[in-house]
């Protein structure tokens, strides 16, 4: 029976295919449109590509940014090259295909420092211009730099700062950003009254709230990172003071409480409801107070939690498509976030704490932060200390703060009638240097600079046109096949409307055979179209 069925099916399919091709030959224009529409779509994009020339990206640490004098070549940079905020933003917009107009420099624009006045607006503008962003080489942010960046980000995200007025905004910006007034209410260095309701500080969360995390871990960090004046005092006031760790962290009972707080309505609305920048979540730690600081060791497990949403996320998203294996670009954005936005900083802090194993007094249940493990602390000498302090000098946030103070010192001198020296790592007061070196001497030390950078790439040709049509081309190519799909549907409907399907069923054809007949009839059309599309794309690529 099976052999007889096969002998019957083949002639039926042959007859159906001949019938279907007879129908197709009656509409030659429609048939050729089914074949050529996808090819025409490809040729259209090929024609558009001729308006966007390719860019030859040189070897080394290079980008696709073209020079005005040589528009066909990308830019090559020194490993330690930097850029400012405005240039980085313009480059990002340009890479996305957005034309950035060049601002005309007029006398009315910018800060009003030329007329001898000093406003908070000009301070923020100078700060933005002073921020130097590395392109490829990123130095791990120090803990003082991270604490200072929390103040900077909170001030930049201030709510309706213009309502404070120039004097109120200046008072808020100076105390909150430069003088380190970021503490909670009823503390010595609380958030200035001028900032309340407008600026909400960022904090580092620690969870869970236990004697180990509060009395041992956090207490040790508080001794290592007190308030530190980085600028020489002028009339008894330092123009740059780093907030203390004691004013920069909060506790939560557990991670569930932390998540509930972050998703609550009052989160980030007032000073008493600070924003959470990151969290150190201990998962496994000693419970017995008498075992704190035990040199025989104990099991520790922790995780670092950061915001990975939005355009200003502290860490990149881990749920992403796999990296493009054929892309020769080495994106530095993820490396920059891990190195400069706090992830590596907090990781180093926890590692130093575990390597140091601070002394724990079980009777008073306190610690003074002194390390029990002598091998974890580098010996103090001038050469080693200078190398360790280089991390501060290369710290993006602290270096920007130094540049800001050196930029406005002449203006402050003319207003306050005081002489301000240049600010740098060499001018940090001796007492502050000693405080800074306490954690820097602990392993892991930044003896070699704590730098992170990507590998250089070989020279290659880059076509920015394909990035611009990455979304449009798939849609257009799919739409080019809609006519073919519609013709298939019309063919089935015509058989039903003309009742030719019922006639073929009467003659013995089955529904599966009717469907297979159209599939076999359209198979040559699809194969011919695919061959023409491949040939057209190959010829166009060779010609370009």
Residues of the chain short of pLDDT 50, as ranges, are: 1, 93-101, 103-116
Residue 92, strand partner residues = none
Nearest Cα to 111, choosing from 126, 124, 122, 127?
122
**pLDDT single digits (tens) 351-384:** 999 999 999 998 898 999 999 999 999 998 999 9
pLDDT value of position 418: 67
Q: What is the per-residue pLDDT across 290-312, written as a single tens digit (0 to 9) for each?
A: 889 888 777 899 999 998 876 56
- Please give the pLDDT value at position 323: 67
pLDDT digits over 4-42, tens only? 555 667 777 788 878 878 878 888 888 888 888 898 988
Distance (Å, rounded) from C-alpha 191 to C-alpha 160? 17
268 three-state secondary structure = coil
Question: pLDDT per residue over 191-238, tens digit each?
Answer: 998 887 889 999 999 999 999 999 999 999 999 999 999 988 877 788
CB atoms within 10 A of CB 218: 20
| Crossing angle of helices 482-497 and 472-480, rounded to 10° | 30
Residue 89: per-residue pLDDT: 52
* The dihedral formed by the CA atoms of 208, 243, 186 and 277, expressed in degrees to the nearest 10: -40
Pairing of strands 249-251, 202-207: parallel
Selection from 46, 47, 44 nearest residue 479 by Cα: 44
pLDDT at 312: 63
Residue 30 DSSP label: H
Tell me, what's the pLDDT at 98?
Answer: 46
Distance between CA atoms of 82 and 399, rounded to whole angstroms? 12
Distance from C-alpha of 544 to C-alpha of 19, rounded to nearest angstrom: 43
537: its two tokens? 């794309």
C-beta separation of 400 from 131 below 8 A: yes
Q: Which tokens in the block code for residue 178?
A: 């430069």
With contact defined as beta carbons under 8 Å apart, do 218 and 249 qualify? yes
* pLDDT for the residue 130: 63
CA contacts within 13 A on the Cβ side of 229: 12
Query: How far is residue 212's CA from residue 292's CA, in Å, rounded to a whole number?
Result: 7
Tokens of 312: 């200003």
- Beta strand 75-77 pairing with 61-63: antiparallel
Taking Cα atoms as reference points, which of 524, 398, 504 lies closest to residue 143? Answer: 398
């Amino acid at each position: 029976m099976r052999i007889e069925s096969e002998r019957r099916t083949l002639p039926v399919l042959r007859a159906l295919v001949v019938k279907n091709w007879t129908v197709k030959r009656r509409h030659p224009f429609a048939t050729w449109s089914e074949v050529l529409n996808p090819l025409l779509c490809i040729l259209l994009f090929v024609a558009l590509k001729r308006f966007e020339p390719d860019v030859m990206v040189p070897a080394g640490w290079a980008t696709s940014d073209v020079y005005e004098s040589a528009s066909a070549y990308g830019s090559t940079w020194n490993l330690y090259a930097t850029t400012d905020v405005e240039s980085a933003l313009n480059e990002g917009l340009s890479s996305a295909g957005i034309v950035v107009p060049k601002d005309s420099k007029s006398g009315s624009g910018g800060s009003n420092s030329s007329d001898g006045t000093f406003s908070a607006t000009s301070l923020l503008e100078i700060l933005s211009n002073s921020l130097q962003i590395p392109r490829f080489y990123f130095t791990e942010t120090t803990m003082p730099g991270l604490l200072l960046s929390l103040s900077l980000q909170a001030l930049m995200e201030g709510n309706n700062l213009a309502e404070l007025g120039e004097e109120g905004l200046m008072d808020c910006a100076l105390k909150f950003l430069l003088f380190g007034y970021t503490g909670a209410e009823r503390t010595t260095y609380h958030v200035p009254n001028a900032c309340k309701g407008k600026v909400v500080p960022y904090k580092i969360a620690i969870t869970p709230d236990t004697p180990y995390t509060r009395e041992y871990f956090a207490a040790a960090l508080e001794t290592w990172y007190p308030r530190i004046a980085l600028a020489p005092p002028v009339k008894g006031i330092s123009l740059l003071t780093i907030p203390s760790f004691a004013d920069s962290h909060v506790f939560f009972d557990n991670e569930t409480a932390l998540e509930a707080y972050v998703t609550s309505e009052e989160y980030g609305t007032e000073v008493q409801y600070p924003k959470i920048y990151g969290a150190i979540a201990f998962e496994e730690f000693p419970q017995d107070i008498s075992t704190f600081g035990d040199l025989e060791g104990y099991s520790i497990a922790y995780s670092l939690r950061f915001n990975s949403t939005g355009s200003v996320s502290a860490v990149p998203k881990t749920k992403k498509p796999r990296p493009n294996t054929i892309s020769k670009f080495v994106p530095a954005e993820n490396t920059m976030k891990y190195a400069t936005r706090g992830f590596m900083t907090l990781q180093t802090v926890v590692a130093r704490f575990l390597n140091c194993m601070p002394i724990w007094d079980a009777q008073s249940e306190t610690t003074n932060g002194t390390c029990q493990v002598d091998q974890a602390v580098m010996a103090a000498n001038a050469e080693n200390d200078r190398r360790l302090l280089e991390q501060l000098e290369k710290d993006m946030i602290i270096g920007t703060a130094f540049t800001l103070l050196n930029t406005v010192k002449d203006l402050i001198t003319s207003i306050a009638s005081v002489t301000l020296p240049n600010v740098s790592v060499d001018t940090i007061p001796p007492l502050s240097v000693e405080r800074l070196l306490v954690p820097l001497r602990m392993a892991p030390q930044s003896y070699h600079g704590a730098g992170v950078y990507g590998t250089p790439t070989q020279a290659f040709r880059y076509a920015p046109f394909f990035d611009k049509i990455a979304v449009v081309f798939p849609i257009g190519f799919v739409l080019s096949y809609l006519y073919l799909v519609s013709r298939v549907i019309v063919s089935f409907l015509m058989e039903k409307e003309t009742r030719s399907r019922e006639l073929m069923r009467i003659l013995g054809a089955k529904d599966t055979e009717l469907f297979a007949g159209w599939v076999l009839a359209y198979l040559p059309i699809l194969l011919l179209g695919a061959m023409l599309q491949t040939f057209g794309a190959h010829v166009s690529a060779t010609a370009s």
